[in-house]
Structure 1
Amino acid sequence: MTVSADPLELGYSFCPNDTFIFYALSHGKVNTPTPIHELLEDVQTLNDWAGVARLPITKISYRAYFSVMKDYVALRSGGALGRGVGPLIVARGEQGDLNGKTVASPGALTTAELLLKIVYPGVRVVRMRYDAIMPAVERGEVDAGLIIHESRFTYHTHGLSKLLDLGAWWEGETGLPLPLGAILVRRDLPTDMQQALQAAVRASLEYAWQHPHEPKAYIRQHALEMSDDVMQAHIDLYVNEFSLDVGEEGERAVRELYRRAVEAGAVEASELPLFVEEG
């Protein structure tokens, strides 16, 4: 394998599940096939950057991945899939059918918005940063909000109630875990580099599980106003066996979400492989 003298840029979010997974990799605790320079950004920014193939390795929502498959392929490790992890629709009170009503969304290329539009194809979407959604719903600027990340643990503090758990809806429809976020590498990287990066991400997560207290200061540094309990609950919920390896069930879930995205007209069908081949 040819190792570049210039570091590869790795983009991931400020969320505790990402900083937990990538702590060891970004702090030189595990071997990497080439030097890595991390860039932390919100998920919507990472989705936008992937649209122009800016980063060689990046966290992204699965919905956004389906739109950039010509440039990227997903690693089997480091992603977020699971049960009981889905986005929630919240409001100040009962809203009934949301078709024709305004719902705040964290982004056009989020898995959350894809699910929202599958369930309510006639909804009117207003997009904003994920951390601005609950205050907007609380102020009555929109009828409901689509919340992700740690917001699922704190919406009660804004006087909001849950209208629908889109993850539970997905699981009821398919019997499969919900794919939320993936780690992608550019398809123009050599296959052995893709596989080595996949191994490095897996080793980074294994290190974090073996040394759970070591990453805490790094996670806290990027966790904004999140309490320690919410921070840990976030990690416990979003980092699981699918994060170590997507596995056969996780692959089926991703393929089903992709099929439904194509069926809904959100993306075009492609014959490209969804995941890096195993070494």
Structure 2
Amino acid sequence: MKIAFSPCPNDTFVFHAWVHQLIPGAPQLDVTYADIDITNTLASGSKGPDVVKISYAALPWVLDRYALLPCGGAMGRGCGPLVLTADKISDPTVLANKRVAVPSERSTAYLLFRLWVAQEVPGGVGEIVVMPFHEIMPAVRDKAVDAGLVIHEARFTYRNYRLSRLVDLGRWWEDDTKLPIPLGAIVARRTLDLSAIANWIRASVKHAWANPEDSRQYVMHHAQEMSYQVAQQHIKLYVNEFTENIGGLGYQAIETLLTRAHQAGLVPEVDLAKLRP
């Protein structure tokens, strides 16, 4: 079975047991490791993987071929993207007509950013520059861009670049909606046995929680020079009860995000009935 997910610690932690054939009855996996902007593109093609990790923001473009699985993804509280600047500022209106680096234009981070800008930056920002997420903080530090939208472990490391946080978009979302933040979704081709795949993923998650040291070498091999401490923070933040089961509150968060994004003209309209099993 072909699968694609990121090399980030939360994904390698979740899928370690399945990748290493520790889940009884689960098929062997052929894994492609790629950042979320690439996996979003893989899922949008007609020959995409059987199972793939994408951003919830990319769901409207793939739901005709892929079904959202109720487990394995990234959702939670206190885990949202940040907008960073080189200088310490608190007034969001300074971003008007400025250059902002983002990791993808089909990401939850980008949707949250655009929804926040619509409220807080009259007239909007200027140029949006898409670049790999690990290049954004150096670009902000070097003032190649005026601000950067960052995700993943940048929550823990941005101070190493002497950058300042203008806004925590996760906190903004939670204050505004009282809902968790839907970040990364696991989807599978609708022609497959979706229930079986979900069961294998849940088994892999439970194995990871029960045997956290088993996955350490695998996680750190793919952690892109991240320290073990930061990798553990990353896993603790992004692998939680929503990873095991999205649940009613999680589906409400997904529906709210995609509905607001459609109303803002950022994504196509979604048949909300297709989101749930």
| TM-score normalised by structure 2 residue count | 0.93
Contact residue 83 and residue 167 of structure 1 kept, 8 A: yes
Give the aligned partner of residue 16 of structure 1: 9
Supply the distance in 2 between the matched residues of 1:83 and 1:272 (Cα, whole angstroms).
23
Once the two structures are superposed, what CA deviation does each residue of 1:161-215 show, in whole Å capped at 9, x if it has no partner?
10000000000110000000000011233xxx11100110000000000101010
Name the amino acid aligned to 2:5.
Y
| Residue of structure 2 in register with 1:112 after alignment | 109
Q: Which deviations, in whole Å up to 9, do the C-alpha atoms of 1:5-25 show, x marking residues without a partner?
A: xxx101010000000000001
Matches within 5 A, 1:22-33: 22-33=15-26
Of 62, 80, 87, the match for 1:86: 80
Q: Does 1:172 align with 2:166?
A: no
Going from structure 1 to structure 2, the CA distance change for 1:164 and 1:272 (only over 3 Å counts) comes to closer
* Partner residue, 2:190: 187
Q: Which residue of 1 aligns with 2:49?
A: 55
**Alpha-carbon deviation of 1:99?**
2.9
Q: Deviations over 1:71-98 (max 9, x none)?
A: 2111101011100000000111127312
Alignment equivalent of 1:100, drawn from 97, 102, 115: 97
What residue identity is the alignment partner of 2:14?
Answer: I
Report whether the alignment pairs 1:251 with 2:251.
yes
Q: Classify the secondary structure of the residue corresponding to 2:273.
A: coil
Cα displacement (A) at 1:224: 1.3
1:129 to 124, 132, 141: 132
Deviation at 1:28, TM superposition (A): 0.3
Identify the residue that residue 232 of structure 1 maps to in structure 2: 232
Q: 103-112 or 264-273: which moved more?
A: 264-273
Distance 1:276 1:203, change over 3 A: farther
1:139 aligns with 2:142: yes
- Of 61-70 and 18-27, deviating more is 61-70
Q: Which whole-Å CA distance do the structure 1 matches of 2:107 and 2:254 have between them?
A: 14
Of 90-99 and 235-244, more deviation after overlay is shown by: 90-99
Percent same amino acid among aligned pairs?
A: 42
Instruction: Note if contact 1:25-1:32 (Cα within 8 Å) is conserved in structure 2.
Output: no
Structure 2: give runs of 5+ residues left out of the alignment: 119-123
d(CA) in 1 for partners of 2:59, 2:29: 22
8 Å contact from structure 1 (residues 106, 129) kept in 2: yes
The Cα of 1:33 is off from its aligned counterpart by 4.6
Aligned length: 267
Q: Which amino acid aligns with 1:128?
A: M
Give the equivalent residue in structure 2 for 1:72.
66
Match of 2:121? none
114-123 vs 139-148, greater mean Cα deviation: 114-123
Alignment match of 1:41 (pick from 34, 37, 43): 34
- Alpha-carbon spacing, 1:152–1:58, altered in 2? closer, same or farther (3 Å): same
Name stretches of at least 5 consecutive residues in structure 1 with no aligned partner.
Answer: 1-7
After the TM superposition, which of the residue ranges 121-130 and 77-86 deviates more from structure 2? 121-130
Q: TM-score, normalised by structure 1?
A: 0.92
